[in-house]
Homo-oligomer: A and B are copies of this chain.
């Protein structure tokens, strides 16, 4: 039942896990986050339910309240964890294609889209939802890291986000928008015609599109 896939949160307190079935769960925070992600991807942001998450975690409906003050709190934590995973997937794509002649920005873009595809509920939570508390510091930090990484990809590591001029920002927005747009179109089924393509062809096709907006250099 419980798929023991990669957890959303760093498995920090591995020493004191008292393992289920006891009144005191021991590791509920992490379990709730995992259950939350499951709920998110299976039912979507719109039908996301606190009680549903509790049920998945085999815990009473009010248990999550101790860790997340309310619905918003849980979704904020989920979005935060999501941004970390999001960045990781991009880095992974960059690394894997480092030896090819593919521009790192394009590789990251493919990772971006792949994340949206495999975590569509999470993606919509992160980029098309009013639910999370966008003033939350942890969430802000996580999302900013993604943004800073994007800037690195477009303009090199040396540059500071604040010191970008308007034209440089234009390059950033262009790259972001086209990848972000394709992600949204993809997960809403608007790119169905491409679904019959082989992965290799599909990636080349997408890479072509992304390349159109690369900075003139």
Residues of A that sit less than 8 Å from B by CB: 44-47, 124, 127-131, 134, 166, 169-170, 173-174, 176-185, 188-191, 193, 205, 208-209, 212-213
Interface SS majority for chain A: helix
Copies of this protein in the assembly total 2
Given the known interface contacts A181-B181, A184-B184, A193-B169, the answer about A174 and B124 at a Cβ–Cβ threshold of 8 Å is no
Bound form: Cα–Cα A177–B173 in Å: 12
Given the known interface contacts A46-B129, A46-B130, the answer about A208 and B170 at a Cβ–Cβ threshold of 8 Å is yes
Given the known interface contacts A173-B185, A209-B170, the answer about A131 and B178 at a Cβ–Cβ threshold of 8 Å is no
Given the known interface contacts A131-B46, A170-B209, the answer about A185 and B176 at a Cβ–Cβ threshold of 8 Å is yes
Q: Of the candidates B124, B166, B209, which one forms a contact with A177 in the assembled complex, judged by CB atoms under 8 Å apart?
A: B209
Contact partners of A177 in chain B: CB under 8 A = 177-179, 181-182, 185, 209
Contact partners of A184 in chain B: CB under 8 A = 127-128, 180-181, 184
Bound form: Cα–Cα A193–B170 in Å: 11
Closest A-B pairs by Cβ, 8 of them: A181-B181, A177-B181, A180-B181, A128-B128, A177-B182, A178-B178, A212-B213, A44-B130
Whether the pair B46, A188 counts as a contact (CB closer than 8 A) is: no
Contact partners of A124 in chain B: CB under 8 A = 128
**16 interchain pairs, CB-CB under 8 A:** A44-B130, A46-B46, A46-B129, A128-B184, A134-B189, A170-B209, A173-B191, A174-B178, A176-B181, A177-B209, A178-B213, A180-B185, A181-B184, A212-B212, A212-B213, A213-B213
